[in-house]
Amino acid sequence: MPVNLAYRAYQFLWEALDWLYPPNCGGCGASGARWCLECTQKTIEIIPPLCPICGNPNSKNEVCERCRISPPRFTSLRSYSVFGGSIREAIHKFKYQHEIGLGEALSRLMITKIEKLNWSLDLITSVPLGLVRFRERGYNQATLLARPISLFFKVPFSSRALSRIRETRTQVGLSVIERNENMSGAFQAKKELVRDKNILVVDDVATSGATLNACAKALLDGGASKVYGFTLARAVYSPIGEIDIS
């Protein structure tokens, strides 16, 4: 796909800021780039074999037990890498330390993967934050990842396709079933924006897939045709759920 002007302009804007304010790598702290080559090389990409639906690694490229027992509403969920090491460090800075330039830098990693998936997309959106969290943070990190992806693929972005209609408690310590219950009914879709569309929902980290599943349900209830999910990283789910990605 030829790189388009809007996407190049967006990158150029960030590169100009890098020139004015030389960055440090969000993963390792090395000077010169917002995200360095060494950190890319150290990051563990999630590659096949994996479940064709939820994208969790398994040995045979078969639908996993969890998806068989309780099929997710999304068509497919994929992630760039395992949540750990440098990428975990970078996501922490991106979310909690206002290093918003990491959005453009890390979205490049996601773009290289999404390109290979051959998903036919009509609209891109991001997992909305609750109002309280949005006010605390001042920005939605998932949106900062989704915008450059939208520019690259020339697929429209809308931050209004989904809204959070109920605050949810932290997912820490919850089982898969509890996570699904916790997220159930948390989102609502704007019907006139999503009807008959194939939609990609972008987020920074997935754990059980409960959040993306709740987004998919809302979008499909709103008339969307298909829903795909893509996250930068994926926390390998543990039954005791000790990983805090909130």
Query: By the criterion CB under 5 A, which residues form the site for Zn ion?
Result: 25, 27-28, 36, 39, 51, 53-54, 64, 67
CB of 85 to Zn ion, least distance (A): 10
CB of 55 to Zn ion, least distance (A): 7
Burial of residue 138 (CB within 10 Å: 0-12, 13-18, 19+) is exposed
Closest to Zn ion by CB, 29 or 173: 29
CB of 30 to Zn ion, least distance (A): 5
Parallel, antiparallel or unpaired: strands 187-189 and 76-82? unpaired
CA distance 11 to 9: 5
Closest to Zn ion by CB, 64 or 155: 64
Burial of residue 202 (CB within 10 Å: 0-12, 13-18, 19+) is buried
Closest to Zn ion by CB, 151 or 232: 232
CB-based contact 37:27 (threshold 8 Å): no
Distances (CA, A) of 97 to 26, 68, 90, 138, 141: 10, 39, 10, 11, 11
Closest to Zn ion by CB, 76 or 143: 76
Closest to Zn ion by CB, 27 or 222: 27
CB of 19 to Zn ion, least distance (A): 19
Closest to Zn ion by CB, 28 or 155: 28
What count of Cα atoms within 13 Å lies in the side-chain half-sphere of residue 92?
10
CB-based contact 163:187 (threshold 8 Å): yes
DSSP code for 96: H
Closest to Zn ion by CB, 51 or 110: 51
H or E element in which residue 123 lies: strand 123-126
CB of 137 to Zn ion, least distance (A): 23
For 222-231, b/e burial (b = at least 16 CB within 10 A) is: bebebbbbbb
CB of 45 to Zn ion, least distance (A): 16
CB of 35 to Zn ion, least distance (A): 6
